[in-house]
């Protein structure tokens, strides 16, 4: 038996927040968490707030990261943010290939793989998102889709200590979470392509009320949390669920 995988709960704020709201939310989370949470936790925030969170969270048990990164190191790429810039703000994590980036901003598997490599090159831990649409699930293509999305990245190098997040598109922001067994089946499939140590998070309508059942599954190592990460009590309850067992 290898070492147990430390569970990770990461909030994805998406395009939400304000300086005042962030301060209040982080304050409530950090106060309740104390210094020694037994699950790792992080918040992935909009770029303009990295300065604020790096100041407010320094020395706490709550890590932080960004939601996107350029695949390029520097240059004439108006509006883009490099991995080295994120590293300067003390980011540990960066989400790459979120379904909203893939679908709304047409990011390809190859582009996501390049972003993943850029993040690792700067010493960040990429959180790679994969997941099928409802049409793909209904057509029996779930494993094919998530394998293609993951293999594009594995082809570029080692996964090493990166984090994978399975986020079925039909469960994101819909209130319709995958059942623990649906999620576990995909996680077990993905696990076979990775080392036993790699952490695989589930994302898609995770709430305080369903987190315990999801985290009880053997291949679910935590969660990537959208809407519920904006409410301190919900996020804290999810972190508590991850810290148990
Ligand atoms: P919700 O938790 O709001 O469904 O969002 C999930 C997600 O996309 C996290 O990256």
Say how far apart CA 12 and CA 18 lie, in whole Å. Answer: 15
Q: Which of 205, 118, 131, 104 is nearest to 162 (CA)?
A: 118
Residue 142: is its pLDDT beyond 90?
yes
**Res. 35 pLDDT band, cuts 50 70 90:** low
Residue 76 CA, ligand 1 centroid: distance in Å: 32
Mutation to probe ligand 1, out of 95, 204, 222 (largest number of atoms < 8 A from CB): 204
Say which CATH superfamily domain 8-244 falls into. Answer: Aldolase class I (3.20.20.70)
What is the tens place of the pLDDT at every residue in 214-228? Answer: 999 999 999 999 999
Q: 191 vs 10, 140, 164, 218, CA distance in Å?
A: 19, 19, 10, 11
Q: Is 181 a catalytic residue?
A: no
Ligand 1 neighbourhood includes 226 CB (under 6 angstroms): yes
Residue 129: is its pLDDT beyond 70?
yes
Residue 2: is its pLDDT beyond 50?
no
The pLDDT of residue 1: 39
Residues sharing a CB contact under 8 Å with residue 80, sequence separation 6 or more, in sequence order: 70, 72
37 Cα distance to chain centroid? 18
Rounded mean pLDDT of the chain? 94
Residue with CA nearest ligand 1 atom 1:
226
Q: Which of 98, 227, 229, 110 is nearest to 175 (CA)?
A: 227
Sign of the C-alpha dihedral, residues 108, 110, 111, 117?
positive
What is the tens place of the pLDDT at every residue in 54-69? Answer: 999 999 999 999 999 9
Question: CB–CB of 134/171 below 8 Å?
Answer: no
DSSP 68: -
Ligand 1 neighbourhood includes 22 CB (under 6 angstroms): no
Length of the chain: 245
Residue 37: is its pLDDT beyond 90?
no
Ligand 1 neighbourhood includes 169 CB (under 6 angstroms): no
Q: Which of 131, 121, 133, 120 is nearest to 98 (CA)?
A: 131
The pLDDT of residue 36: 54
* This prediction's pTM: 0.96
Q: Is 98 a catalytic residue?
A: yes
Give the atom of ligand 1 at the shortest distance from the alpha carbon of 227. Answer: 3
Residue 48: is its pLDDT beyond 90?
yes
What is the tens place of the pLDDT at every residue in 196-209? Answer: 889 999 999 999 99
Residue 75 CA, ligand 1 centroid: distance in Å: 32
């Amino acid at each position: 038996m290898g070492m147990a995988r430390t569970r990770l709960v990461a909030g994805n704020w998406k395009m939400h927040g304000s300086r005042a709201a962030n301060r209040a939310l982080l304050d409530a989370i950090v106060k309740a968490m104390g210094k020694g949470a037994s699950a790792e936790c992080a918040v992935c925030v909009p770029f303009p707030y990295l300065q604020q969170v790096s100041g407010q969270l320094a020395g706490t048990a709550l890590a932080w990261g960004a939601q996107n990164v350029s695949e390029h190191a520097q240059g004439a790429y108006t509006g883009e943010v490099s991995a080295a810039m994120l590293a300067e703000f003390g980011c540990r994590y960066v989400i790459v290939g979120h379904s909203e980036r893939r679908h709304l901003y047409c990011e390809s598997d190859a582009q996501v793989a390049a972003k993943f490599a850029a993040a690792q090159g700067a010493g960040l831990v990429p959180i790679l998102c994969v997941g099928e649409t409802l049409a793909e699930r209904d057509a029996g293509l779930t494993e094919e889709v998530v394998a293609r999305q993951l293999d594009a990245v594995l082809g570029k190098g080692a996964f090493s200590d990166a984090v994978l997040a399975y986020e079925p598109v039909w469960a994101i922001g819909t209130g319709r979470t995958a059942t623990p067994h649906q999620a576990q089946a995909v996680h077990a499939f993905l696990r076979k392509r990775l080392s036993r140590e790699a952490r695989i998070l589930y994302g898609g309508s995770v709430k305080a009320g369903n987190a315990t059942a999801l985290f009880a599954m053997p291949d679910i190592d935590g969660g990537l949390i959208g809407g519920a990460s904006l409410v301190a009590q919900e996020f804290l309850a999810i972190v508590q669920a991850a810290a148990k067992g």
